[in-house]
Amino acid sequence: MSMEAEEKTIQKRRCFIYDCGSRDTLLIQPIGDHDLQTMDDEAGLIRDLCKGRPFTMVMFLVDWNRDLPPWRAEQIRGDEPFGCGAPETLDFIREHLIPDLAGGRAPKIYLGGYSLAGLFALWAAYETDLFAGVAAASPSVWYPDFPAFAREHEIRPPKIYLSLGTKEEKTRHPVMKTVGDNIRELHAALDQKPGCETILEMNPGNHFREPDLRMARGFAWLLGE
């Protein structure tokens, strides 16, 4: 059963808060306009999978191609290039979103994202030790220069959830078809990292199949369910 969010504006960003009984555990996820139709279902799935474990989920709206990429790159479809807004988005989470939600507490914080938001979540995991875990569902690890970035930096959180659809790498697009090899390489490296617990789940279907369920499974795994 889906949930209903409380909407709140924080630093001019629309935020959707799902209260499941406690703000000692915060789940954070950037979303795009295309996620507005499924976000209530995703929150309900997380609640159901976590079997009554208390948490607070917050999703906040971003400009997809501007606010999530960590550095500029040419668009692989269409004409508009990718922006480089990830540092600003991470600053918003760290300096505004978490203080507003935590209210003086020191909660455990988990970051998650789907597709390009999954790439953002992974990038953030290399930039800060703020998060107890990261869920990257069908992340855009085909993004130019990300594999090299991951090889050259140390990931911080102790738990990393990865997933991919079985059909996602079965494309003729020369950039996007690298997603399978890239995520397997990333998972293998994380699996060898001392103190890092990780999993790579392969889900049936393409990139667009059941994103709400894929994200819910990621957050539930981080919470130990």
Distances, alpha carbon 138 to alpha carbons 50, 104, 125, 163, in Å: 21, 34, 16, 5
What are the structural domains of the chain? 6-222 (3.40.50.1820)
pLDDT for the residue 211: 96
Q: What is the mean pLDDT of residues 72-86?
A: 86
Q: What is the pLDDT of residue 161?
A: 98
- Which pLDDT value is given to residue 178? 96
Structure confidence at residue 79 (pLDDT): 66
Pairing of strands 6-10, 13-31: antiparallel
Give percent of the chain above pLDDT 90.
Answer: 92
Cα 221 from Cα 15, distance rounded (Å): 24
CA distance 60 to 63: 10
Nearest to 209 by CA among 165, 170, 176: 165
| The pLDDT value given to residue 160 | 98
pLDDT digits 0-9 by tens, 122-178: 999 999 999 999 999 999 999 999 999 999 999 999 999 999 999 999 999 999 999
What is the per-residue pLDDT for 52? 83
So what's the pLDDT on residue 101?
Answer: 94
Q: What is the mean pLDDT of residues 76-91?
A: 89
Are the CB atoms for 116 and 84 separated by under 8 Å? no
The C-alpha atoms of residue 137 and residue 183 are separated, in whole angstroms, by 11
Contact indicator for 123, 86 with CB cutoff of 8 Å = yes
The reported pLDDT for the residue numbered 168 is 95
pLDDT digits 0-9 by tens, 7-54: 999 999 999 999 999 999 999 999 999 999 999 999 999 999 998 899
pLDDT bracket for residue 103 (50, 70, 90): confident
> Helix axis angle, 39-49 relative to 211-222, nearest 10°?
40
Mean pLDDT of 177-181: 97
Say if CB 222 and CB 137 are below 8 A apart: no
Q: Which residue has the tokens 């409380």?
A: 6
Global pTM reads 0.96
* Type and span of the H or E element at 92: helix 86-92
